[in-house]
């Protein structure tokens, strides 16, 4: 069975590893990048807490001892369902089974000005670009001519009060308090503002109300201005205009307010629902298809427990990959479909970190809520376990330990491309 997996995120990589060296399978794993990206820690790359290489792992290294998994660095342009093949910019690839695990990208909800001026954080490259811009703005603030320009260069606005928004806001607040004043003693950081804007009435809406209130309290303790029930109307690169007419001066807006699925051409538009997700059945198979599946953020599956689809988080993608791998092995053996597993998400909890010794954790069974140091330790331990590679885990642990003791990072580097016409 020739299985083509498009996307090497949590779901795609998990499925490839589950089918690795399994007799009867030929697997081709396709991705735009030649490495797996650990998305939950993008914010630490953006705030100079970790190096990009710490949260990235080469795909080919994962499959060094594989006899049946091959990697293709490509982007899928179109799916030709009638011919069981996909078209990339380089070649045509046939398949017996196609699995779409392309994940999600930033959703600006049609706001072109926001898309042109705000900073998303959905890839390692975007996290690095954000880091460089933050540092470069402080360099510019040293020589700015007027108070308004200095304020605009120093202020940072984060849009979206989900885990990404909460975590990056907390990290920026700790940088402002403990790191930046030492790097830039000429600047008055009491004038720097970090705003977290959330359209609903609370942060971390997918978590418990207790965790939401705790996270808000932690952020405000760190000096973040948290504004709930606040919608952004537009951003021109210098001023954020809110729906109520108020404006915030800032040359950096970090957009963490929404995501949309990355759907290749060739998927029937009738199967695409809100958020650019593809409707699947309980076996992760696209409706009205015989051999195309979708897992992870791109998949929309209604179940009695999740009538509006599953949350777009890594554990869903990983568990869907496990179920699909089991079913594909049965298909390859031509086993009775009675043995196939339907997907049922096992929610093991949710968590978010805010800063040193500050985090929130929800566990559904038994129903528990943690905050503070204990929750922070749980958050760190789980993320270390999920990182690929012993070497990556070691360097992340050393970075975290050093940061815990010194409250400093050594990664505040600005790289420029000095070729004519090129910018950072």
- CA angle at 311 for the pair 310 and 312, rounded to the nearest 5°: 115
Q: Do domains 2-32+74-106+259-339 and 112-257 have the same CATH topology?
A: yes
| Cis geometry, peptide bond prior to residue 366 (ω within 30 degrees of 0) | yes
pLDDT along the chain (424 residues), means of 10: 97 97 97 94 94 93 96 96 94 97 92 92 94 95 93 96 96 95 94 96 94 97 96 94 94 94 94 95 95 96 95 95 96 84 94 95 91 95 89 91 86 72 52
pLDDT recorded at residue 257: 92
Tally of CB atoms within 10 A around 290: 9
Domain boundaries, the chain: 2-32+74-106+259-339, 112-257
- The 10s digit of each residue's pLDDT in 25-73 is 999 999 999 999 999 999 999 999 999 999 999 999 999 999 999 999 9
pLDDT recorded at residue 263: 94
If you count DSSP H runs as helices and E runs as strands, how many of each does the chain have, helices first?
Answer: 12, 25
Please check whether the domain covering 2-32+74-106+259-339 is classified as CATH 2.40.50.140.
no
User: Could you give the 3-state DSSP secondary structure of residue 139?
Assistant: helix
b/e sequence 137-164, b meaning 16+ C-beta within 10 Å = bbeebeebeeeebbbbbbbbbbbbbbbb
Contact of 168 with 43, CB cutoff 8 Å: yes
Q: Detail the DSSP E strand segments found in 95-160.
A: 97-100, 104-106, 156-159
User: Could you give the 3-state DSSP secondary structure of residue 202?
Assistant: coil
Nearest one of 112, 116, 212 to 162, comparing CA atoms: 212
Distance (Å, whole) CA 384 – CA 396: 8
Structure tokens at 63: 């499959």
pLDDT recorded at residue 422: 54
Contacts of 263 (CB under 8 A, 6+ apart): 100, 102, 272, 276, 278, 298
pTM equals: 0.92
CATH number for the segment(s) 112-257? 3.50.50.100
b/e sequence 259-284, b meaning 16+ C-beta within 10 Å = bbbbbbebbeeebbeebbbbbbeebb
């Amino acid at each position: 069975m020739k299985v083509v997996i498009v996307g090497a995120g949590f779901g795609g990589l998990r499925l490839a590893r589950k089918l690795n060296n399994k007799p009867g399978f030929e697997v081709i794993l396709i991705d735009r990048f030649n490495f797996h990206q650990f998305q939950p820690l993008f914010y630490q790359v953006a705030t100079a807490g970790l190096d990009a290489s710490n949260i990235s792992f080469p795909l080919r290294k994962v499959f060094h001892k594989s006899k049946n998994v091959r990697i293709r660095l490509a982007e899928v342009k179109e799916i030709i369902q009638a011919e069981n093949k996909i078209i990339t910019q380089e070649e045509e690839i046939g398949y017996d089974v196609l699995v779409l695990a392309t994940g999600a990208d930033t959703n600006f909800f049609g706001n072109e000005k926001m898309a042109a001026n705000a900073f998303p954080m959905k890839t390692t490259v975007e996290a690095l670009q954000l880091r460089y811009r933050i540092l470069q703005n402080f360099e510019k603030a040293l020589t700015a001519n007027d108070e308004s320009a200095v304020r605009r260069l120093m202020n940072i606005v984060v849009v979206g009060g989900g885990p990404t928004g909460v975590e990056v806001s907390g990290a920026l607040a700790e940088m402002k308090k403990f790191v930046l004043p030492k790097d830039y003693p000429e600047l008055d950081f009491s004038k720097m503002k970090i705003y977290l804007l959330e359209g609903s009435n609370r942060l971390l809406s997918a978590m418990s109300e207790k965790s939401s209130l705790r996270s808000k309290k932690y952020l405000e303790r760190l000096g973040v201005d948290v504004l709930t029930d606040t919608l952004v109307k537009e951003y021109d690169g210098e001023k954020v205009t809110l729906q109520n007419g108020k404006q915030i001066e800032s040359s950096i807006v970090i957009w963490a307010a929404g995501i949309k699925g990355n759907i290749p051409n060739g998927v029937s538009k009738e199967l695409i629902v809100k958020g650019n997700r593809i409707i699947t059945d309980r076996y992760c198979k696209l409706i009205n298809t015989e051999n195309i599946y979708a897992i992870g953020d791109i998949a929309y599956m209604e179940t009695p427990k999740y009538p509006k689809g599953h949350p777009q988080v890594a554990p869903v993608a990983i568990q869907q990959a496990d179920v699909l791998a089991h079913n594909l092995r049965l298909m390859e053996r031509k086993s009775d479909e009675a043995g196939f597993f339907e997907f049922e998400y096992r929610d093991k909890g949710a968590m978010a970190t805010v800063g040193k010794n500050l985090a929130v954790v929800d566990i559904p069974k038994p129903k528990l809520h943690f905050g503070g140091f204990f929750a922070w330790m749980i958050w760190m331990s789980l993320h270390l376990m999920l990182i690929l590679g012993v070497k990556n885990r070691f360097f992340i642990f050393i970075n975290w330990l050093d940061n815990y003791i010194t409250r400093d990072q050594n990664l505040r580097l600005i790289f420029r491309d000095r070729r004519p016409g090129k910018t950072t």
